[in-house]
């Protein structure tokens, strides 16, 4: 499962140079873990006495591999003989572009929904919701402060603490939490002016 989500973030987000990826040595700064956490922290339902979390990460990994297999079988994608992410399924055998094609096919429901695992089987709304969320989670995980929670990043939110300044914030020129900026250029209009 881990490998499938690594293949996913590898297609979505820019790869971090190994020298910057420390201390975790992951070119996606561990964002695939953020996706797994998010998918497993999404839905809970009540059944008699039990309040169940519906874990979505594992069935999502199966869905991605199943969709990739369908694309390969229909010659819409080409599988490399070797697995690019050890332990992964068919999705990890595809080029980045073909992985994006697979996600596009899922998002457009251009696949056989019957062969997908529960809760996705013949459930177009759920397929569209989760496939879309994969992209949002990847970008939010990568460009927010999440990777900088470092060794505490997979803990419950209230147990995390920032261990360093987020690399992506540095890259994009965002100074992080700010007390304020001296960029006041005056008022174009005031309430006093419109009330007279």
Give residues in contact with another protein (CB under 8 A): 11-14, 38, 41-47, 51, 53, 96-97, 100-101, 103-104, 107-108, 123-126, 128-129, 131-132, 135-136, 138-146, 156-158, 160, 162, 168-169, 171-174, 177-191, 193-194
The DSSP bridge pattern shows strands 43-47 and 50-54 to be: antiparallel
Q: Closest distance between another protein and the C-beta of residue 112, in Å?
A: 19
Give the integer Cα–Cα distance in Å for 179 and 176.
10
Q: Closest distance between another protein and the C-beta of residue 29, in Å?
A: 12
CA distances from 157 to 8, 61, 111, 121 (A): 24, 24, 36, 32
Spell out the residues 6+ positions from residue 170 whose beta carbon is closer than 8 angstroms to its own. none
Q: Closest distance between another protein and the C-beta of residue 77, in Å?
A: 12
Nearer to another protein by Cβ, of 81 and 195: the residue is 195
Nearer to another protein by Cβ, of 81 and 180: the residue is 180
Q: Closest distance between another protein and the C-beta of residue 149, in Å?
A: 8
Nearer to another protein by Cβ, of 62 and 134: the residue is 134
Contact 118, 62 (CB under 8 A): no
Measured torsion, CA atoms of residues 148, 152, 158, 164, in degrees rounded to the nearest 10: -30
Nearer to another protein by Cβ, of 50 and 81: the residue is 50
């Amino acid at each position: 499962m881990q490998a499938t989500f690594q293949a996913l973030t590898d297609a979505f987000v820019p790869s971090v140079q190994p020298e910057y990826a420390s201390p975790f040595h992951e070119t996606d700064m561990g964002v695939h873990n953020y996706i797994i956490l998010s998918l497993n922290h999404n839905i809970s339902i009540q059944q008699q006495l039990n309040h169940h979390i519906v874990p979505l990460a594992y069935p999502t990994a199966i869905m991605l591999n199943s969709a990739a297999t369908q694309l390969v079988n229909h010659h819409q994608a080409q599988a490399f003989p070797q697995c690019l992410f050890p332990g992964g399924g068919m999705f990890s055998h595809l080029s980045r572009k073909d992985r994006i094609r697979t996600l596009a096919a899922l998002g457009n429901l251009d696949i056989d929904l019957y062969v997908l695992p529960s809760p996705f089987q013949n459930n177009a709304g759920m397929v569209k919701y989760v496939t879309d969320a994969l992209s949002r989670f990847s970008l939010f995980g990568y460009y927010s402060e999440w990777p900088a929670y470092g060794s505490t990043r997979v803990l419950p939110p209230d147990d995390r603490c920032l261990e360093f300044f987020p690399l992506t914030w540095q890259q994009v020129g965002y100074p992080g939490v700010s007390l304020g900026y001296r960029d006041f250029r005056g008022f174009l209009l005031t309430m006093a002016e419109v009330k007279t």
